[in-house]
Structures are given as C-alpha cells and as structure tokens.
Chains A and B, each alone.
Chain A
Amino acid sequence: MDGLSSEEPNPKDASPLIDVSGVSLDDVARMDDSVLVHSLNRILGDAENPDEVILASFSATI
C-alpha cells in the first residue's frame, strides 16, 4: 500500500503524520468548539502526561 503522498514521512520515523507542535492549549481555548478543537485538546492534554500507558480497548457486538 502506498502512503499519503510522495512527500510522506518514512514509516520508520516516529513523528506524527500531522505536526501540532506549534499549537498550545491556550490557542485552542480561543477556538470555537469542533471535532478538530476536541482532538487538539485531547492530544495536547495527553502531552502533559507522557508516561501514561495507553491501552487498546475491546469492542465486539453482541
């Protein structure tokens, strides 16, 4: 499978597909609520707890 484009990151590179390193929680607090703002709050919030182990949760219908 191809990646996103010819300029995409090396798959062995651990950097994220989208860089938000220039965004702060203060910046996000000034934006209107949206999926993107919710996502930015979550990622920036997680960055404040770098040692937390994230585990994958299970979903299976009945």
Chain B
Amino acid sequence: MKSSSPASVPPSDLTALISRGLKGFKGSLPFHQFVLKVTSRCNLKCDYCYMFEMADDGWREQPRIMSDNTLSATASRIADHVRDHHLSSVQVILHGGEPLMAGPNYIATAAAKLRNAIGAVVDLRVQTNGTFLADSMLEVLTQHDVRVGVSLDGGQEANDAHRRYANGKGSYERVARSLHRLRERAPHLLAGILCTIDLRNDPVGTYTALREFEPPLIDYLLPHGNWTSPPPGRDPSAADAPYGIWLAELFDHWYSLSPRGCQIRMFGEIIHAMLGGQAAVETVGLAPVSLIVVDTDGTLEQVDTLRSAFAGAVATGLSVYTHDFDAATLHPAIVARQRGRDGLCAICRNCALHPVCGGGLYAHRYQEGSGFMNPSVFCPDLAYLIRHVHRRVSNDLASLNRRSGVMS
C-alpha cells in the first residue's frame, strides 16, 4: 500500500472553507457511489487520459489488479457503511485502467462478492473502453446484472483521433463490434456512452454516429484541463466560448428531434436545474457529490478526475485496510463538494447562473496557487450554453402558453 499525504487540498481552499464555517459543519453525507479501480492499467493509450497522460503518474505504484483481499476489505467497508447509514441502495462502478482487462472470471467473482457482502440493493456498473466485450464477458455481465458504460468519441475518424492503442491503431472498429454485440445480446445492459468533446469534430455528426448504437443516454464530457493546464482550444484569458458554441449547435439539433432522441445528460440536467430542479451529475448544478474512489491497492481517493490537476490531488491518506468510509466523509475536499453554493468561490456565488452550472466540474476549477476556489476554466463556455438553452426553453414555454392556454 502506498502511504499518501492528506494535504491534497491547497491551503487557500481550506482557509476559505473554514472561514465559511467548515469547522462547525456536521452535515457531510454518506457515500452512495463507490468507484472501484479494479485494474490500474489499460490496453489503450488515449492521448487525453487523466489517468495515464496527465499530472499524476501514481498509477505506476499501484498493483496491476485489485487483489482478492482488497476486494473483500472494500466490500466489507461498503457493507458497514450501508448498515451504519441505513442506506437502501448504493451504486458500485468497476473502473480502471480498463476494468474488463481483469477477465470474465475476475468480474464474476468481484460481482458476486460485492452483491453477497452488501446488505442493500447494489446498482453494479462497469465503465469500459469497449474492447473486451467478448461473448464470455457478456455472459458474465448478464448473469450478474452489471450495466455497462462504454467510452466512444463519435464515428471512426473522431474516435480514432484520440482513442488508440499504443501502436497507434484506432479502437473504433473493435468497440463498434462490441456495441453491436451488446445491442443484440443484452441491450438492457447498455447504460450509456461517454464521449469526450473534440472541437474539430462536427457536433451533430458525433451525435448521429453514437445514436447508431441506440444508447439510452450519451454523456458528453468536456476535456480535462484547468487554469494552469488549459484544455485544447480554450485560452483561459479569452472571453470566447468555443465549447459553448459547439455544445449549443448540438443542443439545437437534439432539442428539435422528433421523436425525441436519446438523452444527452448535460443538456437534460441543465434544463432541469434551470426549471428549479437539482441536477444529478457532478459536471453541472449544485447537488452534493457523494462518491468515493477505492484505488487498486485499497487507498481511498477523491474523485478520480482530479488527477488532471496535480500529482497527489486525489489523495486522502486513508485506506480500506485502516479506515472506514466515514473517515473519508470528513475530508475537506469531499465536504467542499457537498456544500452547494457555499463551496463555490466568490465570483461564482455572485453570478446568477451558478444554480445551473454549479461552478462546473471541480477538477476544471484548479489553478496553481489558488487551488480550486475559482470558476471553471470553461466558465465562458458554460455561460454561453446556459444562456442559449435558456432562450430556447423560455421561448418554447411562452409559445406553449400561447397555444394551449396553460401557464396562465
């Protein structure tokens, strides 16, 4: 096991949080989502990967696969957490690296162990690059009711620009075959497709290519980056909004489809937050985050995407071997992401859009020297998109009102 320092939150963040009452904060939530990094290696070498290609190379110190002992200790800790907090259900996501590299027997054993140990409904999922979904794996996933999220960035050209094997060969053909097989054999297991945005790709073309696989949901992700290491095409000092424009074009297409197309999570959550609801995704809105990551050696980590910020950003100094999950609920950075508006910087707190954008993804707020108490590096893009969505939805509601006489 590696020993890691808990000092993963910049001092400026802690000072700001404490000044707004962290000391007296007793409202930390139990965890409902457990991300288990059952493997620490991947067979792809995607150029934007926060795990292997960014600031944190801690994966090198990890065992290649989560041992049976670590898996048992994790299952036992989750069971304790469920019992202590009277949770009726939890979600467990097998993640990596590429989790299906562990093989069907390992996945079957892990699924059975987790379901047997945890005394609650377990929504068991795997997030995969889609290159290991052979028949034998599909049988195991079906048998243990493990829902599947597949990462794919659009059609062949779009996907293979980034999602390649180490030898440079693109992964699209194999993943497309996997998705067709999944659709034929066990369509109910496909939870959705995760697509990382590349501004060079046509937004509508990307959506059309992904719809071919009939996912119930597509989750578009902004590429990782922050104020210190900006994402591609995003000049932090500029007020333009290349990602906002890209997403607005996609929104217009999606919003106008009849019959309605598959869900795009970011858009659905933005509209929901705009109408007064609580967005249920960490990329937008102010809903508290209640997830914890268990690394391959059993160490507990904050949300994995923080690896894109700086080396050690995810560390909590805790492990399933020595600590229960309650210890992690008190970690300042986890508490910070459960505090809604109070966890945001002053600029965001004073902006009318913050109930919708929620300050953006926590990892995107990082700046060397000032930590995470900043707006997202995508702030102009999020603002552009939210204003665009606001106009469309407001106009449509007004039009419905005129046509049907509702909302009078």
B404 touching A1, Cβ below 8 Å: no
* Size class of the contact patch on chain A: 35 or more
A17 CA to B354 CA in the complex, in Å?
A: 10
A16 shortest CB reach to chain B, Å: 3
* Distance in angstroms between the alpha carbons of A27 and B353 in the assembled complex: 28
Take A39-B268, A61-B194 as given contacts and tell me if A16 and B352 are in contact as well, using a CB distance cutoff of 8 Å.
no
Indicate if the CB atoms of A1 and B353 lie closer than 8 Å: yes
Residue B312 interfacial (CB < 8 Å): no
With A1-B380, A11-B349, A61-B151 known to touch, is A27 a contact of B407 (CB < 8 Å)? yes
Q: Is B280 touching A56 in the complex (CB atoms < 8 A)?
A: yes
Contact B352 A9 (CB under 8 A): yes
Known contacts: A23-B407, A33-B259, A34-B258. The answer to whether A57 contacts B353 by CB under 8 A is no
**Do B221 and A55 touch (CB < 8 A)?**
no
A54–B254 touching, CB < 8 Å: no
Chain B residues numbered 226-282 whose CB sits less than 8 Å from any CB in chain A: 254-255, 257-260, 265, 267-268, 271-272, 274-282
- B272 and A39 form a contact (CB under 8 A): yes
Determine whether the beta carbon of B281 is less than 8 Å from that of A56: yes
Once bound together, how far apart are the Cα atoms of A30 and B141, in whole Å?
40
Could you say which of B277, B281, B290, B379 has the most chain A C-beta atoms within 10 Å of its C-beta?
B277
Instruction: Give bound CA distance, A22 to B278, whole Å.
Output: 19
B221 contacts A59, C-beta separation under 8 Å: yes
Instruction: Count chain B residues whose beta carbon lies closer than 8 angstroms to a beta carbon of A.
Output: 77
A contact residues vs B (CB 8 Å cutoff): 1-4, 8-11, 14-20, 22-24, 27, 30-36, 38-40, 42-43, 46, 53-62
Assuming the A-B contacts A59-B281, A60-B127, are A43 and B272 also in contact, with contact meaning beta carbons closer than 8 angstroms in the complex?
yes
Q: Verify A56–B287 contact, CB threshold 8 A.
A: yes
Report yes or no: A61 in contact with B196, Cβ–Cβ below 8 A.
yes
With the chains together, A30 CA to B407 CA distance in Å?
13
The answer on a CB contact under 8 Å between A60 and B353 is no
- Beyond A33-B260, A58-B33, A59-B265, whether A16 also contacts B275 by CB under 8 A is yes
B219 interface residue, CB < 8 Å from A? yes
Please measure, in the bound complex, the distance between the C-alpha atom of A23 and the C-alpha atom of B390, giving whole angstroms: 17
Give the chain B neighbours of A35 by CB distance below 8 A: 254-255, 257, 260, 267-268, 271
Given contacts A38-B260, A62-B96, contact A20 B375 (CB under 8 A): no
A17 touching B355 in the complex, CB below 8 Å, given contacts A34-B260, A56-B281, A59-B281: yes
Residues on the B chain within 8 Å of A34, using CB: 258, 260
